[in-house]
Structure 1
Amino acid sequence: MLSKVDQLIHEFDKVVNEPWTSTLSGQERIWFLVYDPADQRKVSLRIGEFETSTIRANKKWQSISFKTCFPEWMSSHDYRDEYFSNPEYIVDQLEAEFIPFAIKFLKKRLATLDQDQDTLVALLDVSSLFGFARLSEILKNCDRDFKGRLLIFFPGEFEQNQYRLLDARDGWDYLARPITI
């Protein structure tokens, strides 16, 4: 019997090998690889197998991690010391400053990639945004900045066309394609 991660790789392999049409909108070219948050480490250890599957399908693989997004924003913030002393003060700044920073963070990284219609950009470590910004808000501002497909490694759930990161927030409807087991 295949493990959950093996099943996920198998499902991804089927999707990445389908013909890629260029007539889809940016939102429709986003794929969510949805898995149980408890399997995050197992999935992370096997990222290379998703890359291999992509290359075998004659597509290009690029990746972007959100792991450094919040630390980069915080380290350059004028009031970072005050926020560490009184974390509740940061809440107002998240909406006004961090979300635009996260959008620019992703746009900037997408712009530096060598990508075309056959490129799959893997978006890793989206859980590092949890509690700071809604992934949906970032994606809706960046859906024209990639050319092929955007694959989001998504620890959460997909149910009744709703995506929920880390199973903890209200979900959102999205035109993206789910890849699940």
Structure 2
Amino acid sequence: MISKTDVLINNYEKVVSEPWNQNLSGQEKVWFLVYDPSEHRKVMFRLGDFEQVTRKYHRNWLHVSLADAFPVWMAEHEYRDEYFKSPTEIQDQVETGFRDFVVERIKNTIENATELSNTVLAISDVNALFGFIKLSDVLNDLYQFNKGRMLIFFPGEYHNNHYRLMDARDGWSYLARPITA
């Protein structure tokens, strides 16, 4: 019996093997690999298989994990001790400062890469943003830098061009291409 993760890998292979149209908008160059949040660990365990499939079709692979984004941002924050004393004071900083931190982290990966038009930028652990900032805001700040393809490992759901992260927050409509099991 084939696992859901195997089906995702097979469906991803079909997409990554296609010729790439470079005339798409930045939003249309985004792929959402959509899977049930309960499958997240299984999918992350197979991350290397996604990279291997990408390289099989002579595409470059860049990976950015957002798993530690919030703790790293908080550890570097000038007022972190004050925020721990009064957590309600951090809300404005999270909505702007943390989002900017995440965007810059991904942009730095993009800027340090070569041959971007032939590269899959894989962004995993976007669930670490949940409850802090909206993934849609981060992507809106990034799509103009997307020269190749951006693969978002998305634990959530997709229905009728509408995405919901972690099956909880109201979703948003996005031009990205879904890859489902």
TM-score by length of 2: 0.95
Match of 2:120 in 1: 120
Match of 1:111 in 2: 111
Q: Which moved more, 1:98-107 or 1:56-65?
A: 98-107
List aligned pairs for 1:1-181, cutoff 5 A: 1-181=1-181
Which residue identity does 2:17 align to in structure 1?
A: N
In the alignment of these two chains, the number of paired residues is: 181
**Structure 2, gaps ≥5 residues long:** none
* C-alpha distance in structure 1 between counterparts of 2:129 and 2:115, whole Å: 25
Which residue identity does 1:33 align to in structure 2?
A: L
Residues 26 and 143 of structure 1 are in contact (CA less than 8 Å); yes or no, is this contact kept in structure 2?
A: yes
Query: Residues 115, 66 of structure 1: CA spacing in aligned structure 2 closer, same or farther, 3 A cutoff?
Result: farther
Give the 3-state SS of the residue equivalent to 1:157 in structure 2. Answer: strand
Which residue identity does 1:3 align to in structure 2?
A: S
Identity %: 50
Structure 1 residue 121: deviation in Å? Answer: 0.9
Structure 1 residue 101: deviation in Å? Answer: 2.2
Give the 3-state SS of the residue equivalent to 1:34 in structure 2. Answer: strand
Which residue identity does 1:73 align to in structure 2?
A: W
* C-alpha distance in structure 1 between counterparts of 2:118 and 2:81, whole Å: 44
* C-alpha distance in structure 1 between counterparts of 2:96 and 2:60, whole Å: 35
The superposition leaves residues 94-114 of structure 1 with CA deviations (integer Å, 9 ceiling, x where unpaired) of 123222222222212221122
* C-alpha distance in structure 2 between counterparts of 1:107 and 1:61, whole Å: 15
* C-alpha distance in structure 1 between counterparts of 2:90 and 2:53, whole Å: 41
Q: Which moved more, 1:72-81 or 1:136-145?
A: 72-81
Structure number with higher helix proportion: 2
TM-score by length of 1: 0.95
Give the 3-state SS of the residue equivalent to 2:20 in structure 1. Answer: coil
Residues 110 and 116 of structure 2 are in contact (CA less than 8 Å); yes or no, is this contact kept in structure 1?
A: no
Which residue identity does 1:83 align to in structure 2?
A: Y
Give the 3-state SS of the residue equivalent to 1:71 in structure 2. Answer: helix
**Structure 1, gaps ≥5 residues long:** none
Residues 16 and 54 of structure 2 are in contact (CA less than 8 Å); yes or no, is this contact kept in structure 1?
A: yes
Structure 1 residue 30: deviation in Å? Answer: 0.3
* C-alpha distance in structure 2 between counterparts of 1:6 and 1:133, whole Å: 30
Residues 60 and 120 of structure 2 are in contact (CA less than 8 Å); yes or no, is this contact kept in structure 1?
A: yes
* C-alpha distance in structure 2 between counterparts of 1:96 and 1:118, whole Å: 31
* C-alpha distance in structure 2 between counterparts of 1:109 and 1:128, whole Å: 18
Give the 3-state SS of the residue equivalent to 1:63 in structure 2. Answer: strand
Residues 29 and 146 of structure 2 are in contact (CA less than 8 Å); yes or no, is this contact kept in structure 1?
A: no
Give structure 1 regions of 4+ aligned residues with deviation exceeding 3 angstroms.
none
Which residue identity does 1:13 align to in structure 2?
A: E
